[in-house]
Amino acid sequence: MAMSLLNRKNGEGVRVYFRSEIYADPHKEFPDLMSRVLEGTASEEEKKLFNRIKKERERNLLIKKDNEIFSIKRVKEPLPPMARIFKSIKCDICSEMVMEGKLRKTKKGMVCFSCAGK
C-alpha cells in the first residue's frame, strides 16, 4: 500500500510505502481465527490462541525499525486534479453530518441514505 504526499506548487514530495508483507507471518490460521472471533463463533481455546498470536504480531511490529515497516522516498509526480470539497450537512433525522449530495429529500426533510431507508 503506497501513498504520495505532494506539494501542489511543484509536484515534489514523498512517497510512503507500507510494507504489508511484514504481516506475512507463520500463523496461517490467523485470518480464519480472527473471522471466528469477530463473528463470535470462536471457542474459548480459539480466543486464547487468537490473543496470543495478536500480541506476538504487535510485538513483532513494535520492534521493527521504521525502514522495515515503511519505504519512504522523495518523488516528483504529476499532480491529480483538485478534489471537489463538499459541504457537510446535518441529517434531519439522526443529526449526523453527511456530505452534501449524499442526502435525500424526503417528507421528513433532508436525510442521510441510512435514515431514508427506514
Binding site for Zn ion (CB under 5 A): 91, 93-94, 112, 115
Q: Which residue's CB is nearer to Zn ion, number 23 or number 86?
A: 86
State in angstroms the smallest separation of the CB of 62 from Zn ion.
40
Q: Which residue's CB is nearer to Zn ion, number 33 or number 115?
A: 115
State in angstroms the smallest separation of the CB of 91 from Zn ion.
3
Q: Which residue's CB is nearer to Zn ion, number 28 or number 118?
A: 118
State in angstroms the smallest separation of the CB of 22 from Zn ion.
39
State in angstroms the smallest separation of the CB of 47 from Zn ion.
35
Q: Which residue's CB is nearer to Zn ion, number 33 or number 91?
A: 91
Q: 10 Å Cβ neighbour count for 100? A: 11
